[in-house]
Amino acid sequence: MILGWRLTDAERREWLERLLGSGRRVVAPTRDGGLLLFRPIASPDEAVLDYGNTRWSPKEHLFPRAEELFSYRLTADEVKLEQRAPDAVEQVLFGLRPCDAAGLARLDSVFLDGAPDASYAERRSRTFTVSLACDSARPECFCTAVGGSPGGTDGSDLQLVHLDGSWLLRALTDKGVQLVETVSALWEQATDEDWAAAKECQRAVEEEIARTPLAAEWAGVLDGAFGHPLWAAVGERCLGCGVCAYVCPSCSCFDVDDNGSAFCGTRCRLWDSCGFASFTKHASGHNPRPDQPSRYRQRVLHKFAYYPLEHGSFMCVGCGRCTVLCPVGLDIQQTVRRVVEEALA
Amino acid sequence: MNGFLPHLMRIAELRQETPDVRTLCLEFADRSVASGFEWRAGQFALFSSFGAGECVFTIANPPTRGGRIECTFKRLGKVTTSLERLSTGELVGFRGPYGNSFDVEGWRGRNLVFVGGGIGMAAVAAPLRYVLDRREEYGEVVLLNGARTVPDVVYKDEMQEWEAIDGVRVVRAVDPGGEEPGWKGEVGLIPAVFERLGLKPDGRTVVVCGPPVMLHFMLLTLDKLGYSREQVVTTLENRMTCGVGHCGRCNVGRFVVCRDGPVVTAARLNDLPEDL
């Protein structure tokens, strides 16, 4: 039995109003400088919910582009290190697409498994995710090729489905239930027919996306195709600009650097990309990945071979942002298909 | 607990090994950290100079010589240049230890060969010193140290102490053209000098640390001499940022150096892609 409700648009708006009034930070798709981006909103009207996808994924609200790890200050014979206290405000990521929510689940596996990353874990623990199922597809969408779907729930605490002018709201985790507990008693329970209609709608979107799934066993094929000559031919086109990594909902590589003088400053964590020439360059000048094809291959193999062989899912959620924004039109999904096809030929 | 927050360590002593290689001997500024601090030979740490950033070095002293932490580094980039400007009494950042370690327990009773090329000698130092500190537990020990030129030889004084130990043979080599009048050591690239030593593979473990190109040719030489790849151990020296498998920088295929290494057998290297 699915736990969920059917909300009118007015009820949905009122709920958002309540969330804003509860002292939580609500981060939703909104217009910012001509782009649609996840930004904190001040009123329900600022949330744009009839959208394809945002330019950037919402990952920066859990894994910021630049983040202070601590500050340092040198005095006569001492060094003072200080950590800024977390802002401790609960945040609600509202209206993210299922692919982006799945991207957060990938980040969780990187930053929370094994040796948890303190600042990510702290931010994650006070973050709620309300995803928004897709009722249409964009040309670049390929979630269905990488194990996702327009109504995928991976990484979501709650999910909204737009259905005939009203909204279905499905609770998926205890955190999700917690986020609606003061209001859900006022809402009408969604019926089996509602969920069946939602499912039908998502099936139609899946058909629209029309992608053949990448087989799980391709991870092993790709891993074994490290030396395939096709990498050089395809990767030669890559400019190493890194835009793919920056807009990616699951890319998690970072650098740590000091910002300041020898007397005071901060140590920061910054996004990085395996596509950059300096990413693996040793101080000696030796670079294990000395050319762009070897760096492009790393990006593809990390997402489609190394990560899946360890975690069981691709480290790509099929949002298609990298494909749209790549200045030379590299399509990661097509690359995977081509390499596998040739490796198996 | 913020894993990036370093311990503060004071430079208790420094040694200028060569014109561009320095050893720092560090003591925890907070003495209460020192008593509970444990590590194993082969593990690494991130050392930092505030304002310049962090750098990965192997911990050059073994746990048999506790109380301090030593690192030996070559001035090459921003952080090492900054660290080299520091004087005795100044503070540096330290976080670690990270990674796996050498199987020094498993080597008991075996004959050991340590091969250190250039600054790779720092990676050989911890297991070598460990073995020498428990000399009676191990067989014959050979150290082959290679440097580009005579002034580039590190740990000069200590090497004299080592060769005075019973059952320890120290072979020094410099690259062709790097010798000076009066040089009594070998002249030649490390793989060639190793071959000239005529060491039979039986019952030996070989630890090889050095630049990637040296490692490449050493492995070929060891193959040729009949050493199995199981008896050869090295360390991977990829760039690392976090030390705990998160930052995505140090992987060689599925092998994440900071998490699965840095110590690795040559046999394991066979399974890794040519991404070194």
Answer yes or no: is pLDDT of A16 > 80. Answer: yes
Q: Which distant-in-sequence residues (6+ apart) come within 8 Å of A35 by Cβ?
A: A54, A55, A56
Q: Do A301 and B241 touch (CB under 8 A)?
A: no
Q: Which helix (H) or strand (E) holds A337?
A: helix A332-344
Indicate the domain borders of chain A.
Answer: 4-209, 218-344
pLDDT at B24: 98
Confidence bin at A344 (pLDDT 50/70/90):
very high
CB nearest to B53's CB, from A254, A258, A284: A258
ipTM tops the 0.90 cut? yes
**What distance in Å separates the CA atoms of residue A35 and residue B35, rounded to the nearest whole number?**
55
Question: Is A95's pLDDT higher than 80?
Answer: yes
Nearest to B254 among A280, A286, A310 (CB): A310
> Is B51 in contact with A263 (Cβ distance < 8 A)?
yes
Determine the Cα–Cα distance for residues A79 and A73; give it in Å rounded to an integer. Answer: 6
Q: What is the mean pLDDT of residues B45-63?
A: 97
Contact (CB<8Å) A262/B49: yes
Instruction: Report CB contact under 8 Å: B50, A114.
Output: no
Residue of B nearest to A111 (CA): B246
Q: Is the pLDDT of residue A86 over 90?
A: no
CA distance A332 to chain B (A): 18
Confidence of residue B275 (pLDDT cuts 50, 70, 90): confident
B63-122 residue pLDDT tens = 999 889 999 999 999 999 999 999 999 999 999 999 999 999 999 999 999 999 999 999
List, edge to edge, every strand of the sheet that includes A25-32.
A35-40, A25-32, A91-96, A127-132, A158-163, A166-171, A4-7, A188-189
Q: How confident is the model at residue B253 (pLDDT cuts 50, 70, 90)?
A: very high
- How confident is the prediction for chain B on average, in pLDDT? 96
Contact residues on chain A for B148, CB-CB shorter than 8 A: none
pLDDT in tens, B186-220: 999 999 999 999 999 998 999 999 999 999 999 99
Q: Work out the mean pLDDT of chain A and round it to a whole number.
A: 96
Q: What is the pLDDT of residue A126?
A: 97
Q: Inspect the interface and report whether the beta carbons of B76 and A269 lie closer than 8 Å.
A: no
Instruction: Please tell me the predicted confidence (pLDDT) of residue A88.
Output: 87
- What pLDDT, on a 0 to 100 scale, did the predictor assign at position A114? 85
- What are the tens digits of pLDDT across the range A264-291? 999 999 999 999 999 999 998 999 999 9
In a mutational test of the A interface, the residue from B20, B247, B274 whose CB has the highest number of chain A CBs within 10 Å is B247
Q: Which bin fits A114, alpha (ψ -120 to 50), beta or left (φ > 0)? A: left
Return residues 16-45 of B near A (CB < 8 Å): none
Contact with chain A for residue B87, Cβ under 8 A: no
- Residues A34-82 have pLDDT tens digits of 999 999 999 999 999 999 999 999 999 999 999 999 999 998 889 999 9
- The dihedrals phi and psi of A96, each to the nearest 5 degrees, come to -80, 150
Q: What is the pLDDT of residue B276?
A: 83
Q: Which domains does chain B have, with CATH numbers?
A: 7-98 (2.40.30.10), 111-235 (3.40.50.80)
DSSP secondary structure letter of residue B51:
T
Touching check for B157 and chain A: CB below 8 Å?
A: no
Q: What's the rounded Cα separation, in Å, for the pair A47 and B24?
A: 56
pLDDT of A258 > 80? The answer is yes
Residue B211: exposed, middle, or buried by beta-carbon count in 10 A (0-12, 13-18, 19+)?
middle
- Is residue B274 predicted with pLDDT exceeding 90? no
* Chain A neighbors of B6, CB-CB under 8 A: 81
Cβ contact, residue pair A69, B242, below 8 Å:
no
Asked whether the predicted pLDDT for residue A316 surpasses 90, the reply is: yes
What percent of chain B has pLDDT above 70?
100
What is the pLDDT at residue A76?
82
pLDDT band at B160 (very low <50, low <70, confident <90, very high): very high
Q: Which residues pair with B93 in a beta bridge?
A: B8, B48
Cβ contact, residue pair A258, B249, below 8 Å: no
| B-chain residues near A83 (CB < 8 A) | 2, 5
Q: What is the Cα A225 distance to its own chain's centre?
A: 27
Q: Inform me whether the pLDDT recorded for A1 exceeds 90.
A: no
**Residue A28 pLDDT exceeds 90:** yes
Region A4-25 average pLDDT: 96
Non-local (6+) Cβ contacts of A181 within 8 A are none
Q: What is the pLDDT of residue A77?
A: 82
